[in-house]
Structure 1
Amino acid sequence: MVSPSISKKVDFLVVGGGPVGLLAANLIVQAGLSVRIVDIEYEPNHWGRGDWIHGRTLELLERAGLEDELLKTGVKVDKMSSYMNGELQKEIPFVPEETESKHEYLLCVGQHITESSLQSQLSNHDVQVERPSTVVSMNRDQSKDSEYPITATIMHLQEGNSTEDVQCKYVLGCDGAHSDIRQQLGIVNEGETSETHAGVLDALIRTNFASRKEVCIVQSDHAKTISMFPRENGLTRLFVHFNENEHEQRKEQHNRNKIQLEDIQREAKRALLPHRIEFLGILYWSVYVVGQRYASRLDSKDQRVFLCGDAAHSQSPTLGQGVNTGFGDVFNLIWKIVMVERGQLDRKYLSTYHSERWPVAQNVLKIDKIAAKAAAGHQSADYCEVVEKHRLFTAGYGISYENNKHDDVSLVWDSGQDGLKLDYYMKPGMRAPNFKVFGYKTGKKTRLFDVIASHEQAPRWLSYTLFVLANDLRSTHDVVSMFLNETSKAASLLPPTNIVIVTTSTADQVSAYKNLMDTDRIVIDKLNQAQCHRAYHNRASGFSNEEENVQIVLVRPDGYIGTIIRSDDAILLSNRILMIRLQQ
């Protein structure tokens, strides 16, 4: 029986107890809202599935304080190598060198560890995945004043298929590629499934192949292309990319319906020649069909039910995008709903979940299709070229959200400053880089977002950030001081907002103005030719340490730039910020 202590009224009902659903539930309870989470599986899967966590995903997890156990357990991979007939062809950093982040690497860690870590955090809030249970129907209360407009009927499969009705404000469909929630909404799942197959296995191996601590793409004239990379606890994962139509030919020749384990092992041994490989133990193996499919919409018409992760888009594991794209969905969505529930954001902005994440999913699927096709051929160089060309996006750092000028519902804004050519290196909608700076008070190296983390009370993903790029305070201190004063006056009209002052002045120069601002929030941009100022500066004029204009960078709770405003008028700066925030 369902425990009588479990509420029949909750803010969120999460359907799907995989990593995407577990992350969503964690963010929900961090925000102080109530949640129940159900999953149709009797128990979690312990092996296989997604095990790449990209650098941008780690940044997002860090914003919620959920990265620590994964970093301690996983294997960090900072480069990728390609081999042909046993000879090294090319070696590149996994993350492009121009990226500014603490996590300039790929983290290889089993999905079961990710799920276990997230469930452990969730257990601290007395929330457990209810298994095996599923949502069989959802009914709406059409009245506008209904606090809990959805009544979801949950079926508990281990209790004689007993059912209960749960009233909720939101339902999140995190229930995988065959999503029941998507089908109940009547949302079409579009795309295609190819005839290309790939085999995957996780194993303990013994080999004299040297590159075991990095992602390797290995190909030979007489074998299939394989990918191999390290896993936690000394494991190795191997992908064998079989040719298109080979699976169907094999069915006809051998009268069996899928590629077998021995086929995967044999091709791995052939590809690694003249090196040897011995399989000491197989912990998991499977064959997957390469395909790319996507939901035609990511939400219901009333923005009460949302699809996340594989329920919204599914692709092959070729570039490790499944868990990462699903986590990106959750971080994009939950802060918006929380701010709507707190009265800090107009409900209409929930439509930006679809308008921002749907194009990202389309790009993920497009790149996956190209990469999977290249891997299924015998042209390793082509596959490596695809991986290298798109690595900024696949690592998450190249994902951005566009400002649709034809849509008045946007959370990415031009500054609205007439006559200003907005030709920045960094633009609204892009990820805000975590630049290295010096803390004024400590004199030690730090990063921009770490300055915030050491002071904030609430989770970072529930607050906006204002970076005040002050240039040289000897020229701009009056503008900066007045801006801070005006912003302080309007604080009651703004949602939680952290302010960090970034200056090119020296520590001695800053000392003359320390009474005008919170010194804990002052950082000095003196590394790599003032890299923070250079990145955000107007391209047309170039950057000079003698610039008198102040730039304000408004960063959203999910770490993306909302807008950039540049002026030497403090009132204009504060009014622009206030106008943008009040539009919400």
Structure 2
Amino acid sequence: MKSGDSTTKNEYDVVIVGGGPVGLLMAYQLNRFGLSACVFEKHEKETQDAYGRAIAFFPRTMEQLDQLGLSDPMLQQGFACRSSVTYKDGEQVIPGRVWTFMENMDGSAFNFTLVLRQMYTEEILRGKLADAGVPYFQGVECVDFNVNADVPVDAYAVTSTMLDHKTKETFAVKSKYIVGADGGHSFVRKHAGIAFEGDKTEDKWIRIDGLIETDMPITRAYGAIESKTHGNVLWAPLDHGATRIGYAYSAEIAAQYPNGVTQEVAEIEAAKSMAPFKVKFRETHWWTLYAIAQRMAKEFSASSDRVFICGDAAHTHSSGAAQGLNTGTHDAVNLAWKLALHARGVLRPEVLHTYSDERKTVVEQLISYDRDISILMSHKWPSWYKGNPDADPYVILGEIFEKATSFNTGLGISYPGNILNKKNTLASVTVAPGSRPHDVVLTVPGVHQALRLQQVAQNHGCFWVIVFAGQVAETKASLTSLASFLAEEPSLSASSAIRFVTASINYEASPFEALGGMDPFGKMYYDRDGSAHKQMGVPENTGGILLLRPDGLLGSAGPLDGGFIKSYFEDIIV
């Protein structure tokens, strides 16, 4: 077997089953965080559907990818969409409905939806793995694995059996952990005995991509075409000048095609769904017919946290809110650093448990929300609706999307309190633990080049201690005390899992001078106008500390005091 210049071996820290975006992203992160990983994909990518599938990256997802150094190649190929349009009976609806939240994506440098088809996303990620020498094998299927959960944490507890579809031979691979990113029919989930709970409806949708000619006035915007026969039709501008049309394939439509759906049928009904606008396919790249289902695994881990699942292996839902790829990405980002630090013996096992709990909380919200969206998009009423049955379901659909703006963009997603998300002891801080902090702007000493906080605190699989120094004349005693404390606590100051950054309102030619004659904590960046302190709610006269998790979320906020830092990490870091 070959993958570029890589060849297989029989031991890895982590075996990843599934070579879609989530599995590839897991492997990329684990390598970045110092673990050996290997990806096994049962399909041959040359014969699998070339385009299609997931397409949309929302702001918070782009921020996470940017923190991992992945955003630039995606921005080079994708279509950045900032606008939306709604049509009803050929007339533009103003104000629009459904996708209008895309025009109000404030608070992020990535204030748009990046549209990039999955084929290109996977190509970028596979290239990153090849550059890093991470083994990736296609046409190889996991057909069995067993776990010895009683061995020490650093032991190879998992033995997996792989089938090479080309040679028809099987071989064994050992690992400390196995991650299933192998889709809705996940073998890993089933073999681990994890229940997959939820329901499947009779509703079916078609998605079709290609190069399209149309007389619709606005085409390079996310569109909602309100049809009574084909549901709330999706018009999505794609990368490379292509477009996606998505519509409901109702029982009434299906009855017209007793021989089933073909590409020709998908094109014909796509054109009908866009009426009264005319649509012609110059090229068809991909199409699919699928049934709507909302399901979630009972747990996202098993076998004493030796087996994990993420992405569609852990949850499935409609594409109505375009959250599938985003949710899977958030799974991978949440899990990777926890798994890496635990495997390196740095993180206590209780922290690893939080992966399943945190992600299930968000997925439960999504599935509840998606259930209503998929029904309304099919031009039907949810069971809870008791209003006028002759009313327009699309009005309610638009209201639901508008209320869920912060969830859709991902910027408002947060996790509840737990061992990682501890109550702020600096009451003035405006960010709740478990939430995304404001991406405030700091500047580089000397050149005063602007950098966002998320560019400063990149995701290297470590926690960030952000020391907001405040006015040095007023905080010098606290800063000196903090420096003395850390000098005596190498478990904090020298830990591979913790990095420090200083943000100072005072600015001089050198960081040493800006802090009144002392070295900064880690690298120094200037908050020249005090806006970063203000946005975060850190008092300029007393300063404060923000503890960021590796995934960029706030762990806790407290005073300029070493005891606060120690109390946060004492039950997290070994």
Deviation at 1:215, TM superposition (A): 1.0
TM-score normalised by L of structure 2:
0.88
In structure 2, what is the Cα distance between the partners aligned to 1:111 and 1:134? 21
Q: Name the counterpart of 1:445.
A: 450
Deviation at 1:78, TM superposition (A): 1.5
Residue identity opposite 1:283 in structure 2: H
Residue identity opposite 2:374 in structure 1: A
Q: Name the counterpart of 1:541.
A: none
Q: Name the counterpart of 1:255.
A: 258
1:313-366 Cα distance to aligned partner (Å, 9 max, x none): 011111221111111111111111111122221123211111111111111212
Q: 2:225 aligns with which of 218, 223, 243?
A: 218
Q: Name the counterpart of 2:208.
A: 201
Q: 1:550 aligns with which of 521, 543, 546?
A: 543
Deviation at 1:199, TM superposition (A): 1.4
Deviates more, 1:265-274 or 1:67-76: 265-274
In structure 2, what is the Cα distance between the partners aligned to 1:487 and 1:432? 25
Deviates more, 1:432-441 or 1:171-180: 432-441
User: In the alignment, is the contact (CA less than 8 A) between 1:502 and 1:525 conserved in 2?
Assistant: no
In structure 2, what is the Cα distance between the partners aligned to 1:311 and 1:301? 16
Matched residue SS, 1:515: coil
In structure 2, what is the Cα distance between the partners aligned to 1:198 and 1:433? 38
Q: Name the counterpart of 1:155.
A: 163
474 and 312 in structure 1: CA distance in 2 versus 1, 3 angstrom threshold: same
Matched, 1:129 2:136: yes
- Structure-to-structure mapping, 1:18-97, within 5 angstroms: 18-43=20-45, 44-85=48-89, 86-90=91-95, 92=100, 94=102, 96-97=104-105
224 and 341 in structure 1: CA distance in 2 versus 1, 3 angstrom threshold: closer
Give ranges in structure 1 of 5+ residues lacking alignment.
Answer: 405-409, 454-459, 539-544
Matched, 1:144 2:151: yes
- Structure-to-structure mapping, 1:532-547, within 5 angstroms: 532-537=532-537, 547=540
Q: Name the counterpart of 1:500.
A: 501
Matched residue SS, 1:23: helix
TM-score normalised by L of structure 1:
0.87
In structure 2, what is the Cα distance between the partners aligned to 1:533 and 1:50? 38
Matched residue SS, 2:431: coil
Matched, 1:433 2:438: yes
In structure 2, what is the Cα distance between the partners aligned to 1:303 and 1:173? 13
Deviates more, 1:286-295 or 1:175-184: 286-295
User: In the alignment, is the contact (CA less than 8 A) between 1:499 and 1:521 conserved in 2?
Assistant: no
Residue identity opposite 2:550 in structure 1: P
Q: Name the counterpart of 1:578.
A: 566
Matched, 1:522 2:515: no
176 and 512 in structure 1: CA distance in 2 versus 1, 3 angstrom threshold: closer
Matched residue SS, 1:521: strand
In structure 1, what is the Cα distance between the partners aligned to 2:351 and 2:147? 21
- Structure-to-structure mapping, 1:309-348, within 5 angstroms: 309-348=311-350
User: In the alignment, is the contact (CA less than 8 A) between 1:177 and 1:311 conserved in 2?
Assistant: yes
Q: Name the counterpart of 1:414.
A: 423
446 and 254 in structure 1: CA distance in 2 versus 1, 3 angstrom threshold: closer
Matched residue SS, 1:124: helix
In structure 2, what is the Cα distance between the partners aligned to 1:441 and 1:193? 59
Residue identity opposite 2:447 in structure 1: T
User: In the alignment, is the contact (CA less than 8 A) between 1:440 and 1:520 conserved in 2?
Assistant: no
Question: What root-mean-square deviation, in Å, do the aligned CA atoms of Structure 1 and Structure 2 show?
Answer: 2.7
User: In the alignment, is the contact (CA less than 8 A) between 1:250 and 1:256 conserved in 2?
Assistant: no
Residue identity opposite 1:55 in structure 2: P
In structure 1, what is the Cα distance between the partners aligned to 2:219 and 2:124? 26
Matched residue SS, 1:336: helix
Q: Name the counterpart of 1:407.
A: none
In structure 1, what is the Cα distance between the partners aligned to 2:455 and 2:185? 40
Q: Name the counterpart of 1:468.
A: 467
Q: Name the counterpart of 2:482.
A: 483
Q: Name the counterpart of 1:241.
A: 248
Residue identity opposite 2:407 in structure 1: F
User: In the alignment, is the contact (CA less than 8 A) between 2:149 and 2:304 conserved in 1?
Assistant: no
In structure 2, what is the Cα distance between the partners aligned to 1:54 and 1:216? 16
User: In the alignment, is the contact (CA less than 8 A) between 1:149 and 1:169 conserved in 2?
Assistant: yes
In structure 2, what is the Cα distance between the partners aligned to 1:512 and 1:154? 58
User: In the alignment, is the contact (CA less than 8 A) between 1:439 and 1:524 conserved in 2?
Assistant: no
1:55-75 Cα distance to aligned partner (Å, 9 max, x none): 211111122212221110000
In structure 2, what is the Cα distance between the partners aligned to 1:223 and 1:167? 50
In structure 1, what is the Cα distance between the partners aligned to 2:272 and 2:167? 51
468 and 301 in structure 1: CA distance in 2 versus 1, 3 angstrom threshold: same
Identity %: 26
- Structure-to-structure mapping, 1:343-422, within 5 angstroms: 343-377=345-379, 379-404=393-418, 410-415=419-424, 417=425, 422=427
Deviates more, 1:321-330 or 1:504-513: 504-513
Q: Name the counterpart of 1:456.
A: none
Residue identity opposite 1:153 in structure 2: T
1:428-472 Cα distance to aligned partner (Å, 9 max, x none): 00012311234443223321232345xxxxxx3312112223333
In structure 1, what is the Cα distance between the partners aligned to 2:256 and 2:208? 24
In structure 2, what is the Cα distance between the partners aligned to 1:263 and 1:147? 54
Deviation at 1:562, TM superposition (A): 0.7
In structure 2, what is the Cα distance between the partners aligned to 1:524 and 1:342? 35
User: How many aligned positions are there?
Assistant: 547
Deviation at 1:222, TM superposition (A): 7.0
In structure 2, what is the Cα distance between the partners aligned to 1:263 and 1:45? 18
In structure 1, what is the Cα distance between the partners aligned to 2:317 and 2:420? 28
Matched residue SS, 1:516: coil
